[in-house]
Amino acid sequence: AHRLSTVRDSNAIMVLEQGEIIERGDHDELMAQKGRYYALNAGIIELE
């Protein structure tokens, strides 16, 4: 899914970059990591 609101309640979220999984976890875990998923949610970066 490309809408973050769609995946927020998922048990497992995987963030891909150039076909590779770079982050994996649920919403709370990924937000705590403050990685790419966090940046997307915070509006720091946008999907390309």
Alpha-carbon gap, residue 34 to 29, rounded angstroms: 9
Per the structure, the complete domain to which residue 32 belongs is given by 4-42
Number of structural domains (the chain) is: 1
* 15: in domain: yes
- What phi and psi values does residue 4 have, to the nearest 5 degrees? -65, -35
- What pLDDT score does 1 carry? 60
Res 38 pLDDT > 90: yes
* 32: in domain: yes
Alpha-carbon gap, residue 46 to 42, rounded angstroms: 10
- What pLDDT score does 24 carry? 98
Share of the chain above pLDDT 70, in %: 92
Alpha-carbon gap, residue 35 to 24, rounded angstroms: 11
Alpha-carbon gap, residue 10 to 43, rounded angstroms: 20
pTM over 0.85: no
* 47: in domain: no
The first and second tokens of residue 31, run together, are: 């937000």
* 24: in domain: yes
- What pLDDT score does 27 carry? 95
